[in-house]
Structure 1
Amino acid sequence: MKHLVLILILLVTQLSCAQTDEKLPYYEVPEYSDKFTAGTMTARMVDALGFRFYWASDSLTEKDLAYKANDDGRTSLETIQHIYDLSRVIVNSTLKQPNSKDKEDLGYSELRSKTLQNLEIAANILRESDDVSQFKIIFGEQEIPFWNQVNGPIADAIWHCGQLSIYLRTTGNPISSKVNFFSGKIKD
């Protein structure tokens, strides 16, 4: 009887965790826009990043979070922190806010959640924009053109999602085979 109760508790815990994750943005890529503009195209790039990050950072264990390829590299958790920092640059640009060097002491779940929320906010703003050139990257007095957003933080974060994916394979916890990156959907 104790085993049955323990199994039920574990199942309820797993179901509630799964439901929480599905409420986070980017479980799947949102539907694409009816029109092609600089804003909708850039929003789609951010959506794709969000989807890749969602799955590259899903259900990580302590072993996964501590993994690093070599002594000079970042751990998976440090890589997630870096992607979070990049997401702050992306969202601050769309909010027309300057970036700060303030570091937040966040754990894995908070980093993951805030990263996904930042990306969703940025994508939604971009999707509605007719002029993405207004979204400069601001560091102090320096304003950097939006072009740098594409080859800088967006591309860099996608790159690091690939690293996380490789790290997960190495630790024996690969991304679910049900994830279809081409369609941005989850296979049944």
Structure 2
Amino acid sequence: MNSRKTIFFILFLLSFVGITNAQDLPFREMPPFAKAYTSGTLMGRMSDGLGFRFYWATEGLNVDNLNFKAGEESRTIGETVDHIYTLVLMFTNAVMEQPTTFPIETKDLTFIEKRSKVLSFIQTASALLKMSNDEDFERYNLVSQFAGGNGQKLPFWNGLNGPLEDALWHIGQVVTLRRMAGNPINPKVDFMNGRINK
């Protein structure tokens, strides 16, 4: 593992400690954009957008909201956040060149801890992607390991149309569900400019 990977592996491990102070959480606002368009900076910016949307989709949720669901057959907001956690972890592990081992257990984590970890995972993926060149993406495989020794390995392309896009899909569901639950997101969030209006 080169020094770049070592630094971000440490950052990734620290994300498991969690950040409980909301002021310390990343993606309250979008970070500055890169000066050049490359495959790495484009993917990093997409990850930043994911983090920004997740931050505001989950900011201010309460226990009643987490238990809310649209109908008997649907997931609760809390269960949807758990699913987003898994998807983001899969995507970040691909960029970290690490396998994702299933099942992923989140039941011992509080909502605040899960939210913190998801944002930290995205921050790690974004930072690595921004430093990536075209050849690096050949190594960013989506590797899944299941109980009993079964597993699969898919190229990074599948990470885009799979976990990354699926996470965005479910973040949109959280936004809709929380509106239905009577707690819509902050109307001052400016998604075009990636900031919170005063």
TM class by shorter-chain length? 0.7 to 0.9
Alignment of 1:27-106 (within 5 A): 27-101=28-102, 102-105=104-107, 106=109
Instruction: Output the amino acid matched with 1:182.
Output: M
Deviation at residue 99 of structure 1 after TM alignment? 0.7
* Overall identity of the aligned pairs, in %: 39
* Alignment deviations for residues 25-81 of structure 1 (CA, whole Å, 9 cap, x no partner): 100111111111111111111110100000001111111101111111110000000
Looking at secondary structure, tell me which structure has more helix per residue.
1
Matched residue, 1:127: 130
Deviation at residue 134 of structure 1 after TM alignment? 1.9
Matched residue, 2:12: none
* Alignment deviations for residues 107-149 of structure 1 (CA, whole Å, 9 cap, x no partner): 2111100000000000100000002232110123532110111
Partners of 1:162 and 1:112 in 2: how far apart? Answer: 16
SS at match of 1:25: coil
Deviation at residue 185 of structure 1 after TM alignment? 0.8
Matched residue, 1:110: 113
Partners of 2:44 and 2:106 in 1: how far apart? Answer: 26
Partners of 2:106 and 2:40 in 1: how far apart? Answer: 30
Give the TM-score normalised by the residue count of structure 1.
0.87
Please tell me the root mean square deviation across aligned C-alpha atoms, in Å: 1.3
SS at match of 1:89: helix
Instruction: Output the amino acid matched with 1:137.
Output: L
1:155 pairs with 2:165: yes
Q: Give the ranges of 4+ consecutive aligned residues of structure 1 lying more than 4 Å apart after TM superposition.
A: none
Matched residue, 1:14: none
Partners of 1:85 and 1:104 in 2: how far apart? Answer: 9
Instruction: Output the amino acid matched with 1:126.
Output: L
SS at match of 2:153: strand
Partners of 1:144 and 1:41 in 2: how far apart? Answer: 21
Q: Is the 8 A contact 1:21 1:27 kept in 2?
A: no
Question: What is the number of equivalent residue pairs in this alignment?
Answer: 170
Instruction: Output the amino acid matched with 1:175.
Output: I
Structure 1: gaps of 5 or more residues:
1-18
Instruction: Output the amino acid matched with 1:57.
Output: T
